[in-house]
Amino acid sequence: MSDNRSAAALKKVKEELLVRKLELEEQLANLSAEKVSDGQVQDAGDQALSSVMESLRASLQDAEIGEYKMIIKAIDMIDQGTYGICEDCSKNISEKRLSLIPNAVRCLICQEAFEETGGQ
């Protein structure tokens, strides 16, 4: 446990994750609110546009839900004391990797090895 992140560093990460989590909750609430108010009569052009918008919105929503889940998991991992520590080699996962994947459970090297062996 000697090279683990300090409690202060973890607290800061957790605060940032909580802020991001709130942002995402707001955005996701807005996305579903827009969907409901979109029920007006449209001509064919509007319908084509709105189906494009709808699929854009759906993929945006998917991405946000995906990120939201990662954040929930990461916060959970902070609470459990497993955040940012590779579960295979027990080394710290790089900040860069954690900024992209806050709930990463492996460092890049172990992740690559894991994927090469077929993911199990």
Task: Rule CB under 5 A: say whether 110 interacts with Zn ion.
Answer: yes
CA dihedral 95, 99, 103, 109 (to 10 degrees): -50
The least CB distance from residue 107 to Zn ion, in Å, is 4
Query: Which span sits near Zn ion by CB under 5 A: 33-41, 54-62, 65-73, 80-88?
Result: 80-88
Distance CA 40, CA 21 (A): 32
**Between 74 and 105, whose beta carbon lies closer to Zn ion?**
105
Distance CA 119, CA 42 (A): 47
Q: Which of 25, 38, 88, 112 binds Zn ion (CB under 5 A)?
A: 88
Task: Rule CB under 5 A: say whether 89 interacts with Zn ion.
Answer: yes
